[in-house]
A and B are shown apart, each in its own frame.
Chain A
């Protein structure tokens, strides 16, 4: 794990703290979960698009 510090707007901090409490986890754990979901979602989106491109090559589609 890597330790880091960042500045968060007051209103966002308040929302995150409340949501973490509702989920029964610490603020740190909640922020980690959000970041992991975002990174995985972004990567998954890239994967699907990339695989679609490779499939077009296999199928011999003319247009991107």
Chain B
């Protein structure tokens, strides 16, 4: 794995100690210490994670997260072209939200195959989901 895309639910799991996936998310980040992998996300994922943190905690928490991830964080934030039509096959995967379909399209456009997320439904979209089950 040379490139890893971070989904919004992974950001939430990392930031929220009450999230059921917090421990798994933390352990996975620790496992990356000795690897060389470039980290990516998109502005859509950042906004979705901020929205979730704002709902669970408050806007201050959301702002802190945004500042952390956008200010020289080492995470490359990719734009998401929402004018591009979602791939026809992907549209039929009804278990995935529009946001997730857009996310995998952004990944595909940038040659990224691996995603950090806890959404099992992403496995239907031809990406490699980490951490493994």
Contact = CB atoms under 8 A, between A and B. Distances in A.
A56 B29 contact: no
Interface in A26-64: 40, 43-58, 60-64
Contacts of B35: 47
Contact of A53 (B33, B64, B68): B68
B38 A53 contact: no
B73 A64 contact: yes
Given A58-B14, A58-B26, A58-B29, A43 B36 contact: yes
Contact of B11 (A49, A57, A60, A64): A57
A46 B39 contact: yes
B40 to A, nearest CB: 9
B65 interface: yes
B74 A56 contact: no
A50 B14 contact: no
B37 A47 contact: yes
A64 B67 contact: yes
A46 B74 contact: yes
